[in-house]
Structure 1
Amino acid sequence: MLVVRTFNQQDYPDVKRIYQQGIDTGNATFQTVAKDWLEWDSSMLKCCRLVAVQDKLILGWAALSPISSRQVYSGVAEVSVYLAKSAQGKGIGHLLLSKLITDSESNHIWTLQAGIFPENEASIELHKKNGFRIIGVREKFGQMGPLWRDVVLMERRSKLIG
């Protein structure tokens, strides 16, 4: 049975492995190497960290990072959702993201945003199915090696908070 539960530090080796799988696709993040535990832990909110587990195997994770340290933006966070290669296309991303949305609202977060490479069509569709809308495209937002990459900016505003 698949369970989405709160992340704990002992999960990080599997989370890191899945994160690196996403990085290796070239379409998940500008990050080139998965962060170590301390860097990852300090970059994510302490609330709203989830893993999807089936038969003691972590198949995916989701977490939120602050978009700013300014108090006025305390209710705005950026979404990260990563799935193991073997878990893609099975609805696990939807379970993680929908639970992350619920948890974010319980923690007084009123806006979620995601920056997604346009080539990552599955992630864009996942976010749309969970109430995100495309705000725009940040053209040539960053470089990966010699290539400039666009980023689709998506946003979900809570109907319950704010």
Structure 2
Amino acid sequence: MEYTIETMKNSDWEQVAAIYLAGIQTGIATFQTEIPTWEAWDESHAQCCRLVARSNNEIHGWAAISPTSSRCVYAGVGEVSIYIDAACRGMGIGQALLNQLVKCSEENGYWTLQAGVLRDNEASRALHVKCGFKELGIREKLGKMPTGKWHDVVFLERRSSKVGQE
């Protein structure tokens, strides 16, 4: 499949939200239980580093960064979100998106990217590791789903070799 990695546009939200919802419905992608409005999502994510994998007018996956703190000392630390359309998993789209997100983050001054991945989401954990993230630890029973199931969260981090080295 041919696709390009591009900057996410506001007009992409409907397809991005559909992919996000499908991730929510797996029960192992996030503790989020419903899709936020575009306005809420837009406000909670960095204005830079929002990417989609697109072929023609169809989006196959997306990745974005959220700030981890409003404190200025953490301005270069971001939390990664990445979601791939179920029909497109295993095609290298996730790796291409995450690698491009890393590049974009470094161009925008991020020295650390982190991710909290539910322990049961082995594919996401493997993707992050493949893209240079290290598993730092496991936070046991960090969150409880509405179904009553508790989930452990694996904390992953990627330190830039280009930014924050001075």
CA deviation profile, 1:59-95 (whole Å, cap 9, x unmatched): 0000000010000000000000001111111000000
Tell me which residue corresponds to 1:151.
153
For 2:77 and 2:141, the matched residues in 1 are separated by 24
2:151 corresponds to which letter in structure 1? Answer: R
Q: Secondary structure at the match of 1:30?
A: coil
Q: CA deviation at 1:55?
A: 2.5
Partner of 1:58: 59
Aligned to 1:38: 39
AA paired with 1:153?
Answer: F
Within 2, Cα distance between the matches of 1:83 and 1:24? 13
TM superposition shift of 1:35: 1.1
CA RMSD of aligned residues (A): 0.6
Q: Distance in 1 between matches of 2:91 and 2:122?
A: 15
Moved over 2 A (4+): none
**Aligned-residue offset at 1:42:** 0.6
Shift of 1:123: 0.4
Which residue in 2 is equivalent to 1:116?
117
- Give the TM-score of the pair, scaled to structure 2: 0.96
Q: Secondary structure at the match of 1:38?
A: helix
> Equivalent residue for 1:75?
76
2:163 corresponds to which residue? 161
For residues 10-21 of structure 1, what are the structure 2 equivalents within 5 Å? 10-21=11-22
Q: Which runs of 5+ in 2 are unaligned?
A: none
Task: State the 1:44 CA deviation.
Answer: 0.4
Q: Distance in 2 between matches of 1:17 and 1:160?
A: 35
Alpha-carbon distance in 2 for matches of 1:71, 1:89:
38
Do residues 128 (structure 1) and 126 (structure 2) align?
no
Aligned-partner Cα distance in 2 for 1:13–1:36: 10
Partners of 1:33 and 1:83 in 2: how far apart? 17
Letter of the 1:43 counterpart: S
Matched residue SS, 1:138:
strand
Deviation at 1:54, TM superposition (A): 1.2
The one-letter code sitting in structure 2 at the alignment partner of 1:133 is K
1:147 positional shift = 2.1
SS at match of 2:30: coil
Matched residues in 1 for 2:119 and 2:138: separation? 8
CA distance in 2: counterparts of 1:34 and 1:135, whole angstroms: 29
